[in-house]
Structure 1
């Protein structure tokens, strides 16, 4: 009975060890899969960081280009303003010339026949002054349109520059976040590798214990068989002893 209980206990231990080995093996497989997934995530995060770096460089270049365009538009606006000043001076000179030509024509008319030639020249000068005034007005209109266009374009470029700066900041934040993700994923990957390694060691130990348990079970079975044989031999010897006693008793009676 004791041997039977020992045998049953060994079978239960062997079953438990088999189940534990299977569980440890499953854990090792899961940890290895997790480590592989973490490795892939690490690669993807690093690739994402590279893309963000490239985006940052592109946005930085764009921002610099927009900044340069904004400065150029401001310079254009300033230059057209200077041209406007020069045109205003020319316009003033033309007005004065026109006035002087008018005065000269009046004086020539007073001079009579002797001033007729001077009057013709004064009239031509006044005509040229009038044409100059008309041209300066047209130039002023063109300059005003240029300045309005430059201011409008400059405002749009300035807005795009601000957008580029904001995008640059957001991209930089995304890059920082990806770097942090990469670091965390790398830590997870390392931990999963350690878990997988420990699980593999546990699996090896469990298999060894399972083999040892099986060996002990076999020895227990052998001992049980030996015990059964010993009990059978003892019973047989008891029977023989009984027969001998009976024979001896018969011999005494005779």
Structure 2
């Protein structure tokens, strides 16, 4: 579907409004003008009918009065006709009828006049209209007495001439008597006519005067007038449409500037330093001012985003360095923990040997007690074994002391790891705050910052767990050291006792018993040492697993940092697409 511009739509609307206005004006003119002309002609016809009625009534009354006042003798008929202007006059007297030519001899010719006189019955009488010589005519009978009177013939053609002269264009007149005898009519057949009637009183008879309005004539006049109006409207439209186009083009210029500016911003190549010129305070001016404020706010936001991304870049670089340092430290700690686990395993083996030796010592002391004669030899072997045991106990104590030192060093390193995790957490929190300031553009960066902060929190918690385990390990080691110290003292005592046994065999029995007791204590201590060593071994294995987890978290932190660098670079590229300064 072809795209139609707003300007074209606006022009189309203006042209449509002008066309609708012309059509409405034409329709309204056709209706109201036709109505006005019809009403006006109707009023004219009514006025004309009233005038004609008055004229006709007056004319007929004048004829009647003239007929009543006209007196003439048998010999003055012709003079009476000439004097009154009537069509004809007949004198009826004592059975005779006289016209302008004299007495009428023929009875048949005279009889109609006699009948008219008799029908008058001594009163003034006006006959119905009849046609005489092709002209409408009436008779007025004026009796003078019972046997004589005058009959006047009045030609109504003059009334027709009067009606014809009073007719106007677009209207017709028609006059009939009370018997519907046509006196005058200029009506044209085949036309759409609207009748208006009036009654004329003629000596007690009601004649009908009808005026006709020619609707076709009115429509022709209306069409002619409407045509003139339409031509004027079309001319006005021809003038107004170019003017409207020019005005729309003039008004549309700010909209075009606004469209170009918004288009540049939408394409990502907008100049945020550019502002629309506001020359008016109308709606377009308000829109332009609003766009300027929006661009200014957008410019400030982009400037802040750029500054924030630069700060974030620095923080990310620092975070990357710290992450690398943490990774190296974790690798070093992992190696040391592996060595510690190996040493603890060896210590466990040594404790087992000690327990076994203690058991052997107990057996030998029992044998010495049963074989007194060989006590000296057995005691000498016991002295040698106790010396070896003392040396082993001394070595074990030294090894445990070294392990305790390593444990403290591990605690210090874990403290540094916890501090690094807290610092990483703070950096991730700062990154999340800067991403929140960046709005929608920093949403992805905020997610990554949250992940970094979560990893830092996990690292901190894991470090705390390791510290707790090391505390328990130190406590166990202290117990082992104490036990080893007791064992060493016991060995020294055994040596001294054995020396006394060598010098005094009499006290062999009691010395052997003491050795037996000491051997039992050594076995018990060795078993306790073995149990503690196993606990230390399990703790060190757990520490090793935690260190592996911390190492993995460090790798994840490094990967997250690299993703943050990529996202921050993309954000910088988006901001750089706009001209801010």
- TM value normalised by structure 1: 0.51
Paired positions, count: 137
- Structure with the bigger percentage of strand: 2
Kindly indicate which of the two structures has a greater share of residues assigned to helix: 1
Decide which of 93, 101, 119 is 2:428's aligned counterpart: 101
Of residues 451, 463, 471, the one that matches 1:136 is: 463
CA distance in 2, matches of 1:155, 1:173: 27
- For 2:146, the equivalent position in structure 1 comes to none
- Helix, strand or coil: the match of 1:47? helix
Distance 1:78 1:176 in 2: 43
- 1:97-246 superposed matches below 5 A: 97-178=424-505
Query: Deviation at 1:117?
Result: 1.7
- Partner Cα distance (1:146, 1:153) in 2: 10
Q: Distance in 2 between matches of 1:57 and 1:74?
A: 26
Alignment equivalent of 2:390, drawn from 55, 63, 83: 63
Shift of the alpha carbon at 1:47? 3.1
Answering whether residue 400 of structure 2 is matched by residue 79 of structure 1, we say no
Shift of 1:52: 1.6
TM-score, with normalisation over the residues of structure 2? 0.23
CA distance in 1, matches of 2:408, 2:503: 46
Other structure's SS at 2:504 match: helix
Match of 1:90 in 2: 417
Q: 2:378 aligns with which of 35, 51, 56?
A: 51
d(CA) in 1 for partners of 2:448, 2:391: 58
CA distance in 1, matches of 2:500, 2:426: 68
Shift of 1:45: 8.2
Measure, in 1, the Cα distance between the counterparts of 2:374 and 2:479. Answer: 40
- Distance, in Å, in 2 between the alignment partners of 1:84 and 1:61 is 34
Give distance in 2, aligned partners of 1:148 and 1:46. 47
Unpaired runs of 5+ residues, structure 2, are 1-370, 507-581
Between structure 1 and structure 2, the one with the greater Rg is 2
Q: Which moved more, 1:71-80 or 1:140-149?
A: 71-80
Regions of 4+ moved over 4 Å: none
Q: In structure 2, how many angstroms separate the alpha carbons of the residues matched to 1:140 and 1:79?
A: 13
Superposed displacement of residue 135, structure 1: 0.4
State the shift of 1:178 in Å.
Answer: 4.1
Unaligned runs of 5+ in 1: 1-43, 180-254
The answer to which structure, 1 or 2, has the higher relative contact order (CA under 8 A, 6+ apart) is: 1
What is the alpha-carbon distance in structure 2 between the residues aligned to residue 98 and residue 178 of structure 1? 74
User: What displacement does 1:169 show?
Assistant: 1.1
